[in-house]
Amino acid sequence: MTNIVGISACPAGLAHTPMAAKALEKAGEELGYHVKMEQQGSMGPVNVINQDEADTADFVLIASDQKITGMERFKNKKILRVDINVCIKAPKAVLKKCVSTVEGA
């Protein structure tokens, strides 16, 4: 099973951040991927990815154009950055494209 971790973040961190995280996690479940998304917003980090989860991930998906904190957890990991709005509108397509990109690398 493909194991994906990621972070969603938007300027305010109130609406798009959790919407993207939930959309990607739901799409992952439907596609047979394990997806865990950390949310970095105005309320602080939610659903934090620990070092073990980062280490066992096949790649890291960043759903944001914002500065992300804690990136050192993902040292030596393939990191894919996608616009947060695309993650909300087409989460399955985003995940499929990310997986195919990593598998083709």
User: Which residues are the active-site residues?
Assistant: 10
Q: State the first-to-last Cα distance of the chain, in angstroms, to the nearest integer.
A: 18
Q: Can you read off the two tokens belonging to residue 91? A: 């989460």
Query: How far is residue 51's CA from residue 93's CA, in Å, rounded to a whole number?
Result: 27
